[in-house]
Amino acid sequence: MSIFIGCLYVVEVLVCLLLALVVMLQKPKEGGLGGAIGGGMGEAVFGADAGNVLIKATAVLGAVFLVNTLVLARLTSTVHSKSLMANEAEAAPAAETLPELPMTPAAE
C-alpha cells in the first residue's frame, strides 16, 4: 500500500508542475509568459486554437490534481488512523470514596 501511495505522490508533483506550466503558457490580455516564450510558438505547436487546447489541458490537469489529492487524503488518513482514545474504551476505575470529615460545631 505504501508503494501505491508513493506513486500517487509522484503523480501529484508531476501534475502540479504541469498545471503550473500550462497556466503560465496561457496568453493573458497583457501578454505574460506565453508571449515571452517565443510569441507565436504556442500557435505553431498547437495550431490556431492554441487557447482552446491550453484551456482543455488546464481543466483536465485540474481534475486529475483534485481527484489525486482526494484519493491521497483518503488513503493516508486510513493508514495512520490510530485513535488516541482506543485504549480508553475500557471501563473507568471506580471513584474512591473519601472518609467523611467530622462535623465541626458552628462558631456562634
pTM: 0.56
Q: Considering the domain boundaries, does residue 17 fall inside one?
A: yes
| Domain assignment of residue 13, yes or no | yes
Q: Return d(Cα 104, Cα 102) in angstroms, integer.
A: 6
Q: What are the backbone dihedrals phi and psi of residue 24, each rounded to the nearest 5 degrees, phi first?
A: -70, -25
Res. 14: pLDDT tops 90: yes
In a domain? residue 66: yes
What would the pLDDT profile of 57-107 be if each residue is shown by its tens digit?
Answer: 999 999 999 999 999 999 888 655 566 666 565 555 666 777 777 777 666
Task: Say if 94 falls within a structural domain.
Answer: no
What confidence tens digit (pLDDT) does each residue in 49-60 have? 566 888 899 999
Q: Is the pLDDT of residue 6 over 70?
A: yes
Residue 48, in any domain of the structure: yes
Find the domain containing 71 and state its range.
2-27+40-81
In a domain, 103, yes or no: no
Q: How many domains does the chain have?
A: 1
CB contact at 8 A, 17 and 25: no
The mean pLDDT value of the chain amounts to 76
Other CB atoms within 10 A of residue 18 CB: 16
